[in-house]
Amino acid sequence: MPGIQYFSKVTKQHPKISLFIFLCIGCFIALKIYYHITPLPAKNWIKTNLEKIAINDPAKFSFALFSGGRAGSHIFRGILEQVDHDPEIAFAVNLGDTVFKGKKSYYKYFLKELEAKLGIPLLTVMGNNDLSGDGIELYRKIFGPSYYSFRVGKNFFIVIDNAGQNRFDNKQIVWLANELKGAAGYDSRIIFMHNPFYDPAVDNREQYISEDTSSKLLALFLKYNVSHIFASQRSGIYEGDLEGVPYTVTGGAGISCPDKRKRYGAYHFLKVNIEKGALNIERKEDFTAGLYKTRHHRYTPAVFVDHMARVHWFEISLLVIMIMGIIIYFIIRKRI
């Protein structure tokens, strides 16, 4: 075959170039194998961090709440640093979209940044982005169950998994009803979830909970006297109520802030203070994020490139080498 004959000719006349091309191919194959055999960046993250929560007075404490963060974002780093420097905050909750895509490399970089910037326990909620890539299975291997509950004193916290479309099944509904029933004697019952019931800054109805799921959830929340619902999506903040149940949508921990969303707040995190079951919510916006101190810093192409380079530096380097090899290959082909 002409192609094989030509390749054989190049191999004989330019052994160094041939070796270079083979090395590139070998590196690519090795990278694929590495992704399969590389260990997980963490296991049972949620269980481990729940055990680390230490609160002196369970009747009076604070926790941080944020969502839409991106490891590598200057905004996200600034938020982590401010949360970490507040001695009143006992733990933090990320309301989903922990990473850009559900891959080991993204989770590895995210957890590495947490280790460097945050010294308190962090709990997670399943988000839409976390479902992409290797999806729910990888998330569960690293973090644990996608829905769970925990208690701090007389305060009952419930994390539900409503990410994606039509994933909130009857099994989780039954579980949620039992959890809420068991929380009846507590001072507060607090819900964490990703997709919101409603968000005035988001026009896409697909980013809300479906009407069927919404009616089922709200019926349970009203029946068992839920104290507060925290949800996520996009940037900024919205505060309101659902038939009398206090309701807060929060994001803005590092992703792009659309112009419309600026009406409802900017990059921020929430500090939630609890005292004898009563919640007081503070919005924190005045933070220095890396090189920036800003309220409306956009997730620009430059920031995106910086983020990708930090997460995928090895793959990018290998890709550049392979492209160079291909260019050299065609240059030699023209000369022969």
Under 8 Å between Cβ of 281 and 271:
yes
Q: Which two tokens stand for residue 17?
A: 């170039």
Task: Clarify whether residues 160 and 184 are in a common domain.
Answer: yes
**SS (HEC) of the chain:** CHHHHHHHHHHHHCHHHHHHHHHHHHHHHHHHHHHHHCCCCCCCHHHHHHHHCCCCCCCEEEEEEECCECCCCHHHHHHHHHHHHCCCEEEEEECCCCCCCCCHHHHHHHHHHHHHHCCCCEEECCCHHHHCCCHHHHHHHHHCCCCEEEEECCEEEEECCCCCCCCCCHHHHHHHHHHHHHCCCCCEEEEECCCCCCCCCCCCHHHCCCHHHHHHHHHHHHHCCCCEEEECCCCCEEEEEECCEEEEEECCCECCCCHHHHHHCCCCEEEEEEECCEEEEEEECCCCECCECCCCCCCCHHHHHHHHHHHCHHHHHHHHHHHHHHHHHHHHHHHC
298 vs 60 pLDDT, higher one: 60
- pLDDT at site 292: 41
Task: Clarify whether residues 8 and 107 are in a common domain.
Answer: no
203 vs 245 pLDDT, higher one: 245
Compute the distance between CA of residue 202 and CA of residue 298 in angstroms, rounded to an integer: 17
Under 8 Å between Cβ of 270 and 250:
yes
Q: What is the CA radius of gyration of the chain?
A: 24
Indicate if the pLDDT at residue 297 is higher than 50: no
Is residue 333 very low, low, confident or very high in pLDDT (cuts 50, 70, 90)?
A: low
- pLDDT at site 274: 98
Task: Clarify whether residues 239 and 130 are in a common domain.
Answer: yes
Q: Over pLDDT 70: what percentage of the chain?
A: 68
Give 336: exposed, middle or buried? Use CB within 10 Å, 0-12, 13-18, 19+. exposed
Under 8 Å between Cβ of 249 and 114:
no
- pLDDT at site 293: 43
- pLDDT at site 94: 95
Task: Clarify whether residues 314 and 256 are in a common domain.
Answer: no
Is residue 302 very low, low, confident or very high in pLDDT (cuts 50, 70, 90)?
A: low
Q: Which two tokens stand for residue 330?
A: 């065609």
| Average pLDDT rounded to a whole number, residues 187-193 | 98
**Nearest Cα to 76, choosing from 235, 232, 259, 274?**
235
Indicate if the pLDDT at residue 174 is higher than 80: yes
Is residue 320 very low, low, confident or very high in pLDDT (cuts 50, 70, 90)?
A: confident
| Average pLDDT rounded to a whole number, residues 129-143 | 87
Task: Clarify whether residues 6 and 124 are in a common domain.
Answer: no
Least confident of 109-113, 136-140, 190-194, 203-207: 203-207
| Average pLDDT rounded to a whole number, residues 118-126 | 96
**pTM for this predicted structure:** 0.79
180 vs 18 pLDDT, higher one: 180
Task: Clarify whether residues 23 and 166 are in a common domain.
Answer: no
CATH code where residue 71 lies: 3.60.21.10
Provide the domain count of the chain.
2
Task: Clarify whether residues 32 and 66 are in a common domain.
Answer: no
Indicate if the pLDDT at residue 176 is higher than 90: yes
Task: Clarify whether residues 66 and 122 are in a common domain.
Answer: yes
Is residue 76 very low, low, confident or very high in pLDDT (cuts 50, 70, 90)?
A: confident
Task: Clarify whether residues 200 and 317 are in a common domain.
Answer: no
- pLDDT at site 11: 57
Task: Clarify whether residues 91 and 66 are in a common domain.
Answer: yes
- pLDDT at site 205: 58
Which residue type occupies 216?
K
Task: Clarify whether residues 33 and 50 are in a common domain.
Answer: no
Domain that holds residue 9: 2-38+308-335
- pLDDT at site 163: 87
| Average pLDDT rounded to a whole number, residues 243-250 | 93
Mean pLDDT for the chain overall: 81
Task: Clarify whether residues 52 and 183 are in a common domain.
Answer: yes
